[in-house]
């Protein structure tokens, strides 16, 4: 989903790979502890660190890409 | 760029605000009087057959969750109560006014109504409304000013659309630049003419700028409306392709936190079939 700025100022991204029923259907990719390293965390673990608008956007895009509620698919 | 207006000039010289049909105005007065018997409200709706038919069609959608088919207004009033019926009759009327608009606008307005109801039912509470059905009306009406621009200032409305698409500015900002007045201000003018509750008028006026709302209750409703608008847009149920943002002030005023958002989104996704059903019932 492109760059995401977390509430603590870290910049990472959210990768969508499956529906929300899969806890790892959305993964946050964040800078790791050492230079150049990254760590990935399931979205529920970083949910509180997202801007509310970003969270809405992530959940909407995930539903449009992988959900079965009938929303218009992306692009 | 042509001439621009202020809200008084546009109402005086350009836009002829539609009147609320007499039956609906009467129903609203009757319901607001606690001494009005249920039967009188039912009689008032039944006396206007087109309105009665539309109201019954809406009553029988899954949105209202009634297990039995309702065939008379009297029965609907008993099952749902006068306040819900008032909102229903009002909703039927507004949908009628909007239904000639673009499909996307119509769908967006209904979707926003459903999103507002979802926020009222699964959000943090604290909205100054009597029922989730009342929240539906807030979402349904929030963009009604756009209908008037399209009808009375079609060239300017087209210019707004072009500016939104070419520069990616929000619709209300493009309206302020080209017309001088945005659709929230225009929508609030209709609300005043229709003698809608002050808090509803204020929420329409403030849904893109909550500083236009003089009280915290009004700001909270305007903010919730802005969030409903944003949710619908992110879900691809947008009105006109313009970007929709929610200011930090509006997020704060809405009382919504990240712990509420997944619940609201899931409930909204579950309600999607009812959006199409409500749209079909209005045609």
Q: Tell me the per-residue pLDDT of B184-195, one tens digit each, with 9 for 90 and over.
A: 999 999 899 888
Q: Tell me if B265 and A47 make a contact (CB, 8 A cut-off).
A: no
Q: Give buried/exposed letters for B254-276 (b at 16+ CB in 10 A, else e).
A: bbbebebbbebbbbbbebbebbe
B243 touches chain A (CB under 8 A): no
This prediction's pTM:
0.91
Instruction: Using an 8 Å CB-CB cutoff, list chain A residues near B245.
Output: 53
Instruction: List, as own/partner pairs, every contact residues B163-167 make where C-beta atoms lie below 8 angstroms and the sequence separation is at least 24, other chains included.
Output: B164/B240, B164/B241, B164/B242, B165/B241
The pLDDT of residue A70 is above 70: yes
Q: Work out the angle at residue B281's Cα, subtended by the Cα atoms of residues B113 and B49, and round it to the nearest 5 degrees.
A: 110
> Distance from CA of residue A38 to its chain's centroid?
15
- Domain harbouring B242, CATH code: 1.10.3210.10
Average pLDDT of every residue of chain B:
91
Residue A13: strand, helix, or coil? strand
The pLDDT of residue B22 is above 90: no
Residue of chain B minimizing CA distance to A49: B258
A35 vs chain B: nearest CA distance in angstroms? Answer: 30
Select from B29, B30, B79 the least CA-distant residue to B59.
B79
Say if B5 falls within a structural domain: no
Q: How confident is the model over B150-185, as pLDDT tens digits?
A: 888 999 999 999 999 999 999 999 999 999 999 999
B236 touches chain A (CB under 8 A): yes
Q: Of A53, A61, A70, which is closest to B230 when you measure between CB atoms?
A: A53
Who's near B32: CB < 8 A, 6+ residues apart?
A: none
Give all strands (DSSP E) within A1-75, no chain letters.
Answer: 3-5, 11-16, 26-31, 38-42
The whole domain housing B63 covers 11-281
Say if B72 falls within a structural domain: yes
Confidence band (pLDDT; 50, 70, 90) for B2? low
Say if B4 falls within a structural domain: no
Phi and psi based region of residue A2 (left: phi greater than 0; alpha: psi -120 to 50; beta: remaining): left
Q: Of A47, A53, A63, which is closest to B269 when you measure between CB atoms?
A: A63
The span from the CA of A66 to the CA of A17, in Å, is 8
Residue of chain B minimizing CA distance to A51: B258
Q: Of A52, A63, A71, which is closest to B258 when you measure between CB atoms?
A: A52
Q: Alpha-carbon torsion B256, B257, B263, B265, what sign?
A: positive
Q: How many domains does chain B have?
A: 1
Burial of B168 (0-12, 13-18, 19+ CB in 10 A): exposed
Q: How confident is the model over B234-244, as pLDDT tens digits?
A: 999 988 888 99
> Distance from CA of residue B79 to its chain's centroid?
24
Give the pLDDT of residue B38. 86
Residue B216: strand, helix, or coil? helix
Over range A26-54, report the average pLDDT: 92
Name the least confident of B130-134, B174-178, B246-250: B130-134
Q: Tell me if B251 and A53 make a contact (CB, 8 A cut-off).
A: yes
Select from B214, B191, B56, B69 the least CA-distant residue to B137.
B191
């Amino acid at each position: 989903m492109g760059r995401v700025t977390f509430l603590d100022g870290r910049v990472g991204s959210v990768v969508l790979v499956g529906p929300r029923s899969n806890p790892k259907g959305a993964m946050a990719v964040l800078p790791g502890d050492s230079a150049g390293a990254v760590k990935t965390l399931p979205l529920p673990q970083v949910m509180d660190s997202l801007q509310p608008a970003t969270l809405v956007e992530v959940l909407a895009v995930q539903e449009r890409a992988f959900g079965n509620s009938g929303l218009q698919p992306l692009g | 760029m042509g001439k621009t207006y202020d809200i008084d000039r546009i109402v005086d010289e350009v836009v002829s605000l539609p009147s609320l049909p007499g039956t609906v105005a009467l129903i609203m007065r009757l319901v607001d009087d606690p001494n009005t018997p249920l039967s009188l409200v039912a009689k008032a709706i039944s006396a206007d057959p087109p309105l009665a038919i539309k109201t019954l069609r809406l009553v029988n959608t899954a949105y209202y969750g009634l297990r039995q088919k309702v065939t008379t207004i009297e029965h609907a009033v008993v099952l749902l109560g006068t306040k819900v019926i008032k909102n229903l009759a009002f909703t039927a009327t507004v949908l009628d006014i909007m239904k000639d608009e673009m499909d996307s606008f119509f769908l967006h307005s209904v979707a926003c109504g459903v999103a507002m109801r979802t926020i009222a039912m699964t959000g943090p509470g604290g909205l100054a409304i009597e029922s989730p059905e009342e929240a539906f009306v807030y979402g349904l009406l929030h963009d009604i000013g756009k209908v008037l621009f399209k009808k009375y200032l079609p060239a300017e409305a087209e210019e707004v659309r072009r500016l939104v698409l070419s520069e990616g500015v929000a619709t209300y900002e493009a309206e302020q630049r080209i017309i001088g007045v945005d659709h929230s201000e225009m929508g609030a003018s209709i609300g005043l003419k229709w003698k809608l509750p002050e808090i509803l008028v204020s929420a329409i006026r403030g849904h893109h700028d909550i500083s236009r709302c003089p009280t915290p209750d009004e700001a909270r409703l305007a903010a919730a409306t802005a969030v409903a608008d944003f949710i619908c847009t992110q879900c691809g149920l947008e009105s006109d392709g313009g970007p929709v943002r929610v200011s930090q002030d509006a997020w704060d005023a809405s009382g919504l936190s990240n712990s509420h958002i997944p619940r609201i989104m899931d409930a909204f996704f579950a309600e999607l079939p009812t959006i199409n059903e409500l749209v079909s019932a209005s045609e």
